[in-house]
Amino acid sequence: MIIIENLQHYLKNMYFYNIDTPMMKSRLIPYMLLYFPLSSFGQEVNEFDSKKYQEEDKNKISLVTGISYINNSFGLLSEHQTFLLKPNDSFYTEFFLRYRWLDASISFAPKLIRINNDDDRKGKTKYLNLGFAFFLTPKLRQFVSYNQIKGLYLESTKEFFYTFLDGLDFGTISDDYLIFPDAKYRSFKGETSYLWMGNKESYRSYTNMTYKPLKNDFVMITGLFYQYNIMKDTDRLIYKGQELNDGSTKEPPTKDLRMAIRSGVGIQRVIKNNWYAIVELYPQVNYSKLIGENYHEFNFGLNSNARVGYDNGKWFFGGGAQVNWVNNSNENFYSTTQWQFRMGVGMRINSPKFVSRNFDKIDQILK
């Protein structure tokens, strides 16, 4: 890809003089967080109460609102160095809705609660994420999601100048960042998981806080994760408030494919007074391929989740953290650590009768 060549050309001709920097081939490699399960919560009940709760849950709609902090990053890889591209937002508002088998989520960064105030230095970012999860059989779970980010900045701008602009008076470099205001990242994700131990009734509370944990539990699961990413419109550049390129020269989109096989265990522990905790550990093997380029790699890592919460049947809240570690190496971009924090509060309400009747019909068809 020619993004580094363009950066060198624009910076040399518009800002710096007497710089003789060779053109270098580079690759722009999108990188996103893997799927992060939601927080989960519970209390111990006997088998009779469990069946009673599941029957009552069929007529309840669960609603959740929350906030999450996500460490999103992308990589500009060249000369065995990674220059990080990041969105200028880390805190996102999330909403979840569940009714029976319908499980949907949406998250975005609304302007009213933006925490950052440095748009002039890092540019503006727009974020959207949509997700759906459902069980194909009592043992087979499917998850799909769509993620979109617009607007990125080069976090390691100074390091980029040091590496590619020889002869520059580095004392004149400010703390400003190179901004890609039109850069668009789109990601299509999916995961198909099989429960070796446990079933959908017990596992749902691990992945979704709208399900109330009913007892101490242990699950063993294997999943195939797949992700297709597209990065486009990286032509327009802004530095210190001035455009280096107006984006009239279009670069082709960069596309990559990522896959992972992960297998591990989860433990759910009901404490008392409606409190509970959940821990999950999933070793994984990863494969990454940059489409259209001779670049691919295998890596191993560990996906882990920890959550704690409260659920009294009507109201529930909690928080958790997720870390996805991949075999660390300084010579490739995919080797990194990614993490997320999430907090949320929710409630359950009675579903309207016409909704229950229509879902009863659908349930009969699906049986």
Chain position carrying tokens 């380029």: 293
18 is written with which tokens?
A: 């007497």
277 is written with which tokens?
A: 């905790």
* 140 to 40, 118, 198, 203, 262: CA distances (angstroms): 19, 45, 11, 11, 15
With cut-offs at 50, 70 and 90, classify the pLDDT of residue 118: low
Q: How far apart are CA 63 and CA 60, in angstroms?
A: 10
Q: How far apart are CA 197 and CA 219, in angstroms?
A: 5
**Residue 204's closest CA among 34, 40, 340?**
40
pLDDT (tens digit, 9 = 90+) per residue, 262-309? 999 999 999 988 999 999 999 999 888 888 878 788 888 888 999 999
Asked whether residue 11 carries a pLDDT value surpassing 60, the answer given is no
Q: By 3-state DSSP, what share of the chain in percent is helix, strand and coil, each rounded to 5? A: 15, 50, 30
The larger pLDDT score, comparing residue 311 to residue 91, is at 311
What residue spans define the domains of the chain? Answer: 3-366
Pair type for strands 60-70 and 337-350: antiparallel
Q: What pLDDT was estimated at residue 33?
A: 27
Three-state secondary structure call for residue 7 = helix
- Return the CATH architecture of domain 3-366: Beta Barrel (2.40)
Q: How far apart are CA 125 and CA 180, in angstroms?
A: 10
pLDDT (tens digit, 9 = 90+) per residue, 74-89? 766 666 666 778 888 6
* CA angle at 100 for the pair 98 and 104, rounded to the nearest 5°: 30
232 is written with which tokens?
A: 């486009």
Contacts 24+ apart (CB under 8 A), 239-244: 239/11, 239/15, 239/176, 239/177, 239/178, 239/179, 240/174, 240/176, 241/120, 242/14, 244/7, 244/10, 244/11, 244/14, 244/15
